[in-house]
Amino acid sequence: MTHLALAFLLFLDLPGDADDHSVSLAHACTGGTPACLAGEGFYKRGRTEYSPVGQTIDGKMVAAAVRGEVRERVARLAERGVDVGLATVLVGDDPASQVYVGNKQRACAEVGIRSLGHRLEASVGQAALVDLVRELGRRADVHGILVQLPLPAGLDARAVIEAIPPEKDVDGLHPLNQGRLLAGEPGLRPCTPLGVIRLLDETGVTLKGARAAVVGRSVLVGKPVALLLLERHATVTICHSRTADLGGEVGRADVVVAATGQAGLVRGTWIRPGAVVIDVGINRGPDGKLCGDVEFAPALERAARITPVPGGVGPMTVAMLLANSVSAAERALGMRAA
């Protein structure tokens, strides 16, 4: 297992106790100001008025609230005779993948989603794997399909994902769902980017008209985050390893999302006073501890809100997977258009 994989294991959200969901969202921003509590964004009130106070965003608490919402939606579907089902497909014996899938299954159980686990040997052929995914796609009792990535060497993940019916693609990785996101059409969105947007919403920041800098342009995180921010009418700059003046781009932003996998790449002194910072990165620092892509302590002094690592974005990913699964079931029943 790589260090990164180990770090991710530690960082993953485990479902909390049964009453986690009753925690008020109002407390999700530790030491929340009236702006946070009332859902008023600093931007809405005028940036010049805002005094940065530096507060962390409690991703575990927000994730617990999301799970609570999912549990209620699952219960409503159960009243209509629908038992929400998520199929997980795990290929091979990678220890990190086993833990991820186990966590997702436990999270499902906690909110009343039935998980159907499929475990295959690494030697399974491409055709047999695709056949299984297609079969799951045809089953009416399976509302979502999750193929744990990465797949063992020799298997074509792209072809496997394309075998998932787009309406059951709860990871939001099918090219049709990626295209729908690009086109601004309804569809299942990838979980971590959805979690980023949910955390931003919890801060009360007004995304419409805000300047957002997304550092990282991966297909899994950076690009979908940028598109979701654009969908919410932010003015988005996507930064990457060839960006000429990263500090300048970050320094102009009201909202910063860092997703690079480079510990401390985003300097705390770059952060515009009063900005909201979401740190997606999971790294191990020189001291051996988990850390994000943003230099946390100096950034905390300038940011209005900032996610810690661990305990920020990480817990949201599984929570949004659950939300996507119930959305897929609702859509199958015609309860929602998007």
Catalytic residue positions, numbered: 104, 148, 171
146 contributes a contact to ligand NAP by CB under 6 A: no
* Size of interface with ligand NAP, in residues (CB under 6 A): 27
Residue of the chain from 246, 255, 320, 321 that contacts ligand NAP (CB under 6 A): 246
Question: Contact between 97 and ligand NAP (CB under 6 A)?
Answer: no
CB of 261 or CB of 298, closer to ligand NAP: 261
289 binds ligand NAP (CB under 6 A): no
Nearest to ligand NAP of 36, 214 (CB atom): 214
How far is CA 199 from each of CA 33, 124, 276, rounded to the nearest angstrom? 16, 39, 10
Question: 205, 307 in Cβ contact below 8 A?
Answer: no
The Cα–Cα gap between 289 and 274 comes to 27
CA 33 – CA 298 distance, rounded (Å): 20
Distances (CA, A) of 244 to 214, 239, 280: 14, 9, 22
Per DSSP, the three-state class of 331 is helix
Question: Does residue 240 interact with ligand NAP by CB under 6 A?
Answer: yes
Instruction: Please select the residue that binds ligand NAP; options are 224, 251, 281, 308, rule is CB under 6 A.
Output: 281
The values of phi and psi at residue 143, to 5°, are: -100, -25
In the block, residue with structure tokens 């009416």 = 140
Type of residue at 209: G
Per-residue x/- track, 210-239, ligand NAP (CB under 6 A): -----xxxx-xxx----------------x
Closest CB to ligand NAP among 136 and 181?
A: 181
Q: Which of 114, 133, 123, 127 is nearest to 91 (CA)?
A: 123
Least distance to ligand NAP, CB of residue 117, Å: 21
Contact residues toward ligand NAP (CB under 6 A) are: 4, 192, 215-218, 220-222, 239-243, 246, 259-262, 265, 280-283, 313-314, 317
